[in-house]
Each structure stands twice: as structure tokens, then as C-alpha cells.
Structure 1
Amino acid sequence: MRLFLNVLSRANRALEKLLHWILLALLFGFIAMIIYQIVSRNLPLLPRLYWTEEFSRFAFQWMIMLGTAIGVLHADHFVLEAFPRGTRADRLTRWIRDLACLAVGVIFVVYGQEFAASGLRRSATASGLSMIFVYSAFMVCGLFIVLFALERLARAVLDGLDAMEAAMNTPDPVQEAIAAQQEHHLDLDAPQQSTGAGRPS
């Protein structure tokens, strides 16, 4: 189990770096195409490239799906804490959260294959691009979610839920501020130890 976790962790770190570069490229491409659309509407000298509207939409869809997968890895998705931190109900809901992410990933993979295949029969209106390149976003996102959720669950089983979240979750600024305030109060409450400078002989 530990060997599986180590291999999966290395693979996920490499995938995460790759996703960051892909998302960065998609973001710059998205911004460039939006700017071109705005400028070309106001400058008659520039040709109207209608495919830029489609490609900007497709880039936005891929950014959402790939960003969602990274959000699962670091628990950056929206979480509503209904129970006091550390209680049994709270720990149970945190386990359910990661299991639910795994289930959603499996659903995306299973049903996303058929959805992606349906794109082979369709093409984008302006660019003529096969829609399989757009529809496959759900299946690809599901694969990443499955891999990332498996790592979270494997770490939780081997190291404990709290250790897994400390290692993988994006730090919560509210929790960090509370912890820093508690440490500050502990320092103030601690008895001051006098350090003698040494007695003259």
C-alpha cells in the first residue's frame, strides 16, 4: 500500500505540474482571443475571425474542468463545515467528501466516454473542429479526479485524515490565523524564565 501511494504521489505531482502549464497556456490563449475579438470589432483593418469566439469558449471549458481536478487534489472546492472541527461527525463528513469526489470522478470517466464519442459526429460551426476535443474534457477531468482522490484516500488510510489534510490541503487562512493567535496567547501566558548573568566570584 505504501509503495502504491509513493508511485501515485510522484505521478500526481508530475501531472499537477503539467496541468499548471496547460492551464497557463489556456488562460493566455483565452485572453488573447478575447482581446482580438474586441479589437477587431472596432478596427475595420483587422479581419473578423469567427473561430476565435468558439476557441475562447472551448478554452474556458477546459480551464474549468482541469481546474476542478486540481481543486480536488488540494480540497479547494467549496466546503460547508456543518459540525465542530474534530468531532466524530466532522471527521465522517470529511471522509464522505473525498469518497464523493472519487465517485464523481468515476461517473465522469464512465459516462464521459460516451459523451466524448458523440463528438465525433459533430463539428464546430465556425472552425470545423471535431467536438470530441471539447466533449472529452469531462472524461479527462474524471481521470484526474480519480487519481487525485485515490491519493487523498490512500494517505488518509495510512497516515490519518489530519496528516493527509495537513500535507495536501491548501492552507486555510482563517485556521492559520486562529492557530497563530492561540500560539501568541500561549507565549504570553508562559512564565518568564530569568536568565542569570552569572555571579561574581
Structure 2
Amino acid sequence: MPFAMALGRVNRQLERFLNGVLLLLLASFIVLIVYQIASRNLGFMPRLYWTEEMSRFAFQWMIMLGTAIGVLHADHFVLEAFPRGSRPDRITRVIRDVACLLVGVIFVVFGFDFLRSGFDRIASASQLPMMVTYSTFFVSGLLIVLFSLQRLLVTMAHGVDAMERKLDTPSEIDEPGYAPPTQTLGSPENRS
């Protein structure tokens, strides 16, 4: 499937770009919060009211972009109701990816109207158009659609297990031979 391969290459580049953006947003968020704390406690530092607004905007973008990457790697919540590898388990994992695709489409459709409403509004402290923050749902929705589509196309071409080996974040629980820890509260290792 040439479309699936091309989409995979595009998504890989998008993910690399998003990782850089997320690091920049995180660093900005930390710097802004530290400045806010320092300016409240150190009288010689000027209080810049736009820092609170900008830190909130950075936080919103981090959440929504991180959510999209979480969809690509199935790092969001997962409910496992059936034995791992069984037919019902595979079906529910495909349903999960279809549901993510539908949520992405909803974010795109309704997020676009939300984004447009931000053109007429200005943030009070930073004077930025509110579309800067209102566009988070639309952008996240586009990314979720692209990432979910890749998961579903790889599933159709190679099966659920192959798709998850290729795209999911590795987990020790999924490794063959994994045994959960058996320590209990009353065991000798936990007594002091």
C-alpha cells in the first residue's frame, strides 16, 4: 500500500517535529512558571502578567499535541477486557483505533469553528489573538486523524499484532515470560 507507506513517512517527520515543539513548549512553560514564582517573592523583579497567560497557552498546546502522539503509539488509556491475543481482544483494539479516528474527526469539524471564533477575540494580558489557543483542538484533531489512519492502514495490511509491534510504545508487560511482582505487604522483604 503506497499510501500507507507515504503516510508513515509523513507521520514520522511530524512526530519528530512535534517532539521538538513539545520540548520547546515544556521549557517555555517551566521558565514562565519559575519567573512567576520569582517575581512574586522577589520585589526587584517586575511582575509580568502575560507570563501567566502564556504558560497556560503552552500547557494547553502540550496536552493536545501530546495526546496526538499518544494516539500514534497507543500510550493513552487502554482497557483490556479479554485475554491478550484473543480474537475479542484484537477486535477491541481495532475498535479503539476507529474510535480515536472518529474523535479526531470531531475535533477537526468542531475545532475549526472554535478556531474561527478566536479571530475576533484578543487575550487580555498578552494581546495575542485567541485563535492561538483556540486552534489546539483543530490541530490536534488533524494529527489524531493522520495517526489513527496510519494505525488502521497498517492493521489492514499486516494485522493488529504487526501494527502494534511497529507503532506501540514497548511495554515489559507485553514481553513473553513477563511475571508480575509477587511481593506482598506482609512479605519479609517489606518489613523494617
- Provide Cα deviations, 1:147-189, integer angstroms capped at 9, x if missing partner: 000110000000111100011100122222xx1459xxxxxxx
CA distance in 2, matches of 1:153, 1:20: 23
Tell me how far apart the structure 1 counterparts of residues 126 and 92 of structure 2 sit (CA, whole Å).
Answer: 46
Contact 2:4-2:153 at 8 Å conserved across structures: yes
Distance 2:105 2:73 in 1: 18
Q: Which residues of 2 match residues 36-185 of structure 1 at below 5 A?
A: 36-176=35-175, 179-181=176-178
- Report the Cα distance in structure 2 between the residues aligned to 1:154 and 1:70, rounded to whole angstroms: 17
SS in 1 for 2:83: coil
Contact 2:101 2:148 in 1 (8 A): yes
> Which residue number in structure 1 is paired with residue 24 of structure 2?
25
Partner of 1:193: none
User: Taking every aligned residue pair, what percent have the same amino acid on both sides?
Assistant: 61
Which residue type is aligned with residue 145 of structure 1? I
SS at match of 1:123: coil
Shift of 1:25: 0.1
Distance 1:106 1:94 in 2: 19
CA RMSD of aligned residues (A): 1.0
Deviates more, 1:109-118 or 1:78-87: 78-87
Q: Is the 8 A contact 2:114 2:135 kept in 1?
A: yes
Q: Distance in 1 between matches of 2:95 and 2:33?
A: 40
Distance 1:10 1:127 in 2: 37
Return the offset for 1:105.
Answer: 0.4
Per-residue CA deviation, residues 82-135 of structure 1 (Å, 9 max, x unaligned), is 111122211111110000000000000011000000011111111111100100
Does the aligned pair in 1 maintain the 2:172–2:178 contact within 8 Å? Answer: no
Change beyond 3 A, Cα 1:181–1:47:
closer
Q: 1:10 is matched with which residue? A: 9
**How does the TM-score come out when normalised to structure 1?**
0.87
State the alpha-carbon separation in 2 of the partners of residues 180 and 59 from structure 1: 42
Report the residue type matching 1:96 in the other structure.
I
1-structure distance, mates of 2:8, 2:85: 26
Of structures 1 and 2, the larger Rg is shown by 1
Structure 1 segments unaligned to the other structure (5+ residues): 183-201
Matched-pair contact (CA < 8 Å) for 2:65–2:140:
yes
Which stretches of structure 1, 4 residues or longer, exceed 4 Å deviation after superposition?
Answer: none
Cα offset, 1:44, TM superposition: 1.0
